[in-house]
Structure 1
Amino acid sequence: MSADSQTTDRPDEEAPAEDRWRRALREIVESSSMVVFMAIVASMIIGGVLIIFADEAVRESAAYFFSRPGDTFSAIGAALGSAYSAMFNGAVLNLEASSFAGVIKPLTQTLTMATPLIFAGLGLGIGFRAGLFNIGAQGQLLMGATLGAYIGFAFDLPWGIHLLLAVIGCAVGGAIWGFIPGILKAKRGAHEVIVTIMLNYVALYLVAWLLSLDAFQREGSDNPISPIVAETAQYPQILGVQFNLHLGFLLALACAWGAWWLMERSTIGFRLRAVGANPSAARTAGMSISTATILTMVIAGGLAGLAGSAPVLGTQKFLTDATAGSLGFDAITVALLGRSRPLGIVLAAILFGGLQASGPSLQVNAGLPVDIVVVIQALIVLFIAAPPLVRALFRLPAPAHEKEVAA
Structure 2
Amino acid sequence: MSQAQVPAWVSVALLPAINVFAAFLVSALLFMYIDISPIDAIKVMWTGAFGYAEGIGYTLYYTTGFIFTGLAVAIAFHAGLFNIGGEGQAYIGGLGVGLVCLTLGEFAPWYVVFPVAIVVGGLFGAAWAFIPAYLQAKRGSHIVITTIMFNFIAASLMAYLLVDILKPETTMATESRVFAASSWLPKMHEMLSWVGVSMSASPLNLSFIFALLCCLLLWLFIWHTRWGYEIRSVGSNPSAATYAGISYVKIVIIAMLISGMLAGFFGLNVLQGELHQIKLNFVEGFGFTGIAVALMGRNHPLGVLLASLLFGFLYQGGAELSFEYGVDRNIVVVLQGLVILFSGALEHMFKPSLERTYLKLFAKKASPSEGVA
TM-score band, normalised by shorter chain: 0.7 to 0.9
Q: Would the aligned equivalents of 2:183 and 2:272 in 1 still touch at CA under 8 Å?
A: yes
Distance 1:182 1:315 in 2: 31
SS of structure 2 residue aligned to 1:242: coil
Of 164, 168, 172, 2:115 maps to 164
Counterpart of 2:337? Answer: 378
Report % sequence identity. 33
Give the 3 Å change call, closer, same or farther, for CA 222–371 of structure 1 in structure 2. closer
Count of residues paired in the alignment:
344
Residue in 2 aligned with 1:227? 177
Answer whether contact 1:136 1:197 (CA < 8 A) is retained: yes
Instruction: Kindly provide the CA deviation profile for residues 253-295 of structure 1, in whole angstroms up to 9, marking residues without a partner as x.
Output: 0000000000010111001101111111111111110000001
Any unmatched runs of 5+ in structure 2? 191-199, 360-373
Aligned to 2:269: 310
Moved more, 156-165 or 139-148: 156-165
Residue 195 (str. 1) matches residue 146 (str. 2): yes
Of residues 27, 39, 44 in structure 2, which corresponds to 1:86? 44
**CA root-mean-square deviation:** 2.1
Give the 3 Å change call, closer, same or farther, for CA 283–139 of structure 1 in structure 2.
same
CA distance in structure 2 between the aligned counterparts of 1:140 and 1:311, rounded to whole angstroms: 14
2:211 is the alignment partner of 1:252: yes
CA shift digits 1:300-321 (9 cap, x unpaired): 0000000122111111121122
1:324 — aligned with what?
283
State the TM-score, normalizing by the size of structure 2: 0.88
Determine helix, strand or coil for the equivalent of 2:72: helix
Amino acid at match of 1:92: F
Matched, 1:45 2:3: no
2:349 is the counterpart of 1:389? yes
User: Which whole-Å CA distance do the structure 1 matches of 2:351 and 2:259 have between them?
Assistant: 32
| Partner in structure 2 of residue 347 of structure 1 | 306
Residue 265 of structure 2 aligns to a residue whose secondary structure is helix
The offset of 1:28, in angstroms, is 7.2
Higher relative contact order (CA 8 A, sep 6+): 2
Q: For 1:324 and 1:31, how far apart are their aligned partners in 2?
A: 32
| Cα distance, 1:199 vs structure 2 | 0.2
Query: What is the CA–CA distance in structure 1 between the aligned matches of 2:15 and 2:29, rounded to whole Å?
Result: 21
Alignment map for 1:1-400 (pairs within 5 Å): 27=7, 30-55=10-35, 79-93=37-51, 103-155=52-104, 156-159=106-109, 160-214=111-165, 216-240=166-190, 242-384=201-343, 385-391=345-351, 395-397=353-355
Distance 2:29 2:11 in 1: 28
The higher radius of gyration belongs to: 1
TM-fit CA distance, 1:133: 0.5
Tell whether the 8 Å contact from 1:115 to 1:349 is kept in structure 2 after alignment: yes
Structure 1: how far apart are the matches of 2:15 and 2:225?
29
Whole-Å Cα distance in 2 between the matches of residues 130 and 194 of structure 1? Answer: 17
